[in-house]
Chain A
Amino acid sequence: MFFGLKEGNLHTPKKLRKFTQEPAHALALPVGTLGSLRGQPFRVTGYMIRKEARTRASWEEYQLLNPETHTYAQLALYEGHWTYITPTDQKFTIIARQGNRATVDTDDHYYELYNRYSPRVLYAEGEFDWNVLDDEGLKIAEFIDPPLMLVEEKKVRSATWYLAEHVEPAEVQEGFNVPPTRMPFRMGTGAVQPAPGANWDALKNFSLGLAVLVIFTHVFFSLLRPETTLADLSWATSSTTPAAAVPPDSSTAPVLEAVKVSSPFEVPYNTALEFDLRANLNNQWVEVPVVLVNEQTGRTYDFTKTMEYYSGVEDGESWSEGSVTADAVLADIPAGRYHVNLYPTTDITQIVTGNLRVAINTPLHSNVVLFLVLLLAYPAVQYLRRQNYEHSRWQNSDYGPQD
């Protein structure tokens, strides 16, 4: 039974309503519990079960009294998510947005409309300093900027604002010494439950800043040490006879591939060299083993590239495949004097010509790409987790971005 007392007549309580619904579980904070929250001492003076007028969604509200300041606060509990609510004297302006969306902008926060409803009181016990049944005439709007929420309670001509904040269950449990068995199980995503990665802003700013710095550094290196040609060598295959194709008793000595040797060139510092090969091919292939020789140490670096290019007309349609160019990179080449040996070979009786360009300071784009991938992998995972989390949060709202 719920009674009301009028000021000046405290001895004759008036029966207001008999509630048919009772709590289905033991209260986490029974009326009279003493504890503290956010550094303030509190006594639980009241408990309510409320629901939205138009839906089945119901939640619990604990009325808290600070015995030192004689001010009230509330703890709301919905599906295991706790919210600490305090009144504020500030007034806020609601800005209507596209569709049914609305926002409240403050200097530090951007609150988005999350819910509108009229409350119904299903159960109440304890003491309240107002007639809670009068709240059924309120129109309530909730605006969120997790972990904060602004709540507007609107009567016909006046509006009262409350500031709410997400509270971790452990904080309530510790502050009011609640036995673990009485703590409700948390389900789903709370309206103002912080998304994972509380350090998201710092992570985003740092990773994007460093990504920009990496790109600037790469450009700076390209300007500091522009790509320069060290050697440009024309080559041609000889008419070759592979050793395997020559009979053992043949008096004709097999002609091995001709070696082409470049002029010596200086590599002034430890760097990467790029080798660009081009061949004049017409329905042919050519294989070009390339050897870079350090003339001072004798150390060699080698690679082989095969180029092939075929074209024709078939069923009235022209086709082509293959490429007449190939490139290779030799990295971490020490300073010194070098030359290049080439051993181009192709089919017997055919001659293929081409050229080789050796360049210093080739930009190592793959380093940039790989570093950016590694740098942004963790922020990307965090971003996706947060997106998923926000999606889950707004699924409980009729005013979310997806609507």
Chain B
Amino acid sequence: MLRSFRSIQYYAALALLGYGAFVWSGLHGWRWLGDDNDSTENINGTGGHSSGSHGRSTYFHK
């Protein structure tokens, strides 16, 4: 059995690395696709609030 897995050792190593990253992300609440945060950190490490457009975006309906 080990011999057969040796034939996919690179794939298996990469997949296990990915699984490790998956577990770490699950424990730390890190989303791979990014999140909805719009703030950009400034030099002091604090974020700047972008208050959005504060107006109605162009909208069409029937």
Residues of A participating in the B interface, judged by any CB pair closer than 8 Å: 198-199, 201-203, 206-207, 210, 213-214, 217-218, 221, 242, 257, 270-273, 285, 287, 289, 291, 297-304, 306, 308, 310, 312, 314, 319, 321-322, 328-333, 343, 345, 347, 361-362, 364, 366-368, 370-371, 374-375, 378
Q: Is the interface of B mostly helix, strand, loop or mixed?
A: loop
B37 CB contact (under 8 Å) in A221, A302, A345: A302
Q: Is the CB of A321 within 8 A of B61?
A: yes
Give the number of residues in B that approach A within 8 Å (Cβ atoms).
44
Q: How far is the CA of A331 from the CA of B5 in the complex (A)?
A: 36
Residues of A within 8 A of B32 (CB): 364, 366-367, 370-371
Distance in angstroms between the alpha carbons of A345 and B34 in the assembled complex:
27
Which residues in A have their C-beta under 8 angstroms from that of B33? 366-367, 370
Q: Name the prevailing secondary structure of the A interface residues.
A: mixed
- The reply to whether B7 and A198 contact each other, CB–CB distance below 8 Å, is yes
A141–B33 Cα distance when bound, in Å, is 56
**Least distance between B19 CB and chain A CB atoms (Å):** 6
Q: Given the complex, which residues of B lie within 8 Å of A272, measured CB to CB?
A: 29-31, 35
Query: Is B54 a contact of A345 with CB atoms below 8 Å?
Result: yes
**What residues on B are CB-neighbors of A303 within 8 Å?**
36-38
A374–B54 touching, CB < 8 Å: no
Contact check, A297 vs B57: say whether CB atoms are below 8 A apart. no
Q: Give the chain B neighbours of A300 by CB distance below 8 A.
A: 39, 46-49
Residues of A within 8 A of B46 (CB): 297-300
A residues less than 8 Å from B57 (CB atoms): 306
Residue of A nearest to B48 (CB): A300
The chain B residues found within 8 Å of chain A, CB to CB, are 4-5, 7-8, 11-12, 15-16, 18-19, 22-23, 25-39, 41, 45-57, 59, 61-62
The smallest C-beta distance from A297 to any residue of chain B, in angstroms, reads 7
Q: How far is the CB of A274 from chain B (nearest CB, A)?
A: 10
**Distance (whole angstroms) from the CB of B23 to the closest CB of chain A:** 6
Give chain B nearest CB distance to A80 CB in angstroms.
26
Once the chains are docked, how many angstroms separate the CA of A361 from the CA of B29? 7
Question: Does B53 lie within 8 Å of A287, measured CB to CB?
Answer: yes
Contact assessment for A214 and B19 in the assembled complex, using a CB-CB cutoff below 8 Å: yes
Residues from chain B with Cβ under 8 Å of A285 in the complex:
56, 59
Q: Quick one: given A366-B31, A366-B33, are A378 and B48 in contact (CB under 8 Å)?
A: no
Contact B39 A331 (CB under 8 A): no
Chain A residue with the shortest CB-CB distance to B12: A206
21 contacts between A and B (CB under 8 A): A199-B4, A203-B11, A217-B22, A217-B26, A242-B54, A257-B54, A271-B29, A285-B59, A287-B52, A287-B53, A287-B55, A289-B54, A299-B46, A304-B52, A332-B31, A343-B54, A345-B55, A347-B56, A364-B30, A364-B31, A375-B15
Inter-chain pairs besides A207-B15, A300-B47, A371-B32, 15 sampled, C-beta below 8 Å: A206-B5, A206-B8, A206-B12, A221-B27, A285-B56, A287-B56, A299-B41, A300-B49, A301-B47, A302-B47, A330-B37, A331-B29, A366-B32, A367-B26, A367-B32
